[in-house]
Amino acid sequence: MMLVAHIAEPGTEPDFSGADAVLVSVPKAGAKSPKTLFKAAPHIPWGGWLKEVGRQEVQQLGELGADFAVFPVASVPRAILEDEKLGKIIEVEPAFDASLLKAIDDLPLDAVIVAGEKPSFSWRELMLLRRGANMLSKPLLVMISPDINAEELQALCEAGASGVVTTDNFEKLRRLINKLAPPKSGKRRRVEPLLPRLSSRRGTVAEEEEEEEEEDD
């Protein structure tokens, strides 16, 4: 399961230890540059969460050297779909519509993130997440509380989440994620490379999983 650190304020410089990538909220073009965040950890892929989406905002992310962009489903600009360098992650609400997911899956996107309220882990919520994961061929990321426990993380894993996005406790969450058991039900979902600079590391994980499957056979 991928762990993405979400930074709401670009002026802060937290410790990203344990995170696979960093996501910075970018409210509008001309806002304080998030690039200063990554002097201490230049090896970590990073992206901008665009609240206002347009050609200028997309261009700004590219100039700053971002690896990917997150944008709301209500604003899917041609500028970002035509950009071949940026990874593309679309933001949907927890109660996503089935017909919307089918349309999203046909777009040139790299992943889907379930934003909004943090999951309450009700049966209905987990069933909706499982439905979304089954309908999408793309990885599904979920916003979570930094205080989530191992049992709740396991429930998200069982529901088909490929990764989580949160604001704190990255090292603790990495330890919990590393101890998760493989999903018990349904087909085994493999986390594909989401971001350009993660390809080599995620590829290594995939190779290890293939070797484990061969040993089990």
Tens digits of per-residue pLDDT, 113-127? 998 777 778 888 888
Tens digits of per-residue pLDDT, 157-199? 999 999 999 999 999 999 999 999 988 765 544 444 555 444 3
The secondary structure of residue 110, as a DSSP letter, is S
> Tokens representing 154?
């396991």
Domains identified in the chain and CATH numbers: 2-216 (3.20.20.70)
Tens digits of per-residue pLDDT, 103-152? 888 888 899 999 877 777 888 888 888 888 888 999 999 999 999 999 99
- What distances in angstroms separate CA 143 from CA 6, 79, 81, 121, one per listed residue? 9, 26, 23, 12
Contact 60, 29 (CB under 8 A): yes
CA atoms within 13 A on the CB side of 160: 22
pLDDT, mean of residues 193-210: 43
CA atoms within 13 A on the CB side of 177: 20
Dist CA 16 CA 9 (whole Å):
14
Dist CA 15 CA 170 (whole Å):
8
Instruction: Enter the pTM of the model.
Output: 0.78
pLDDT, mean of residues 65-84: 76
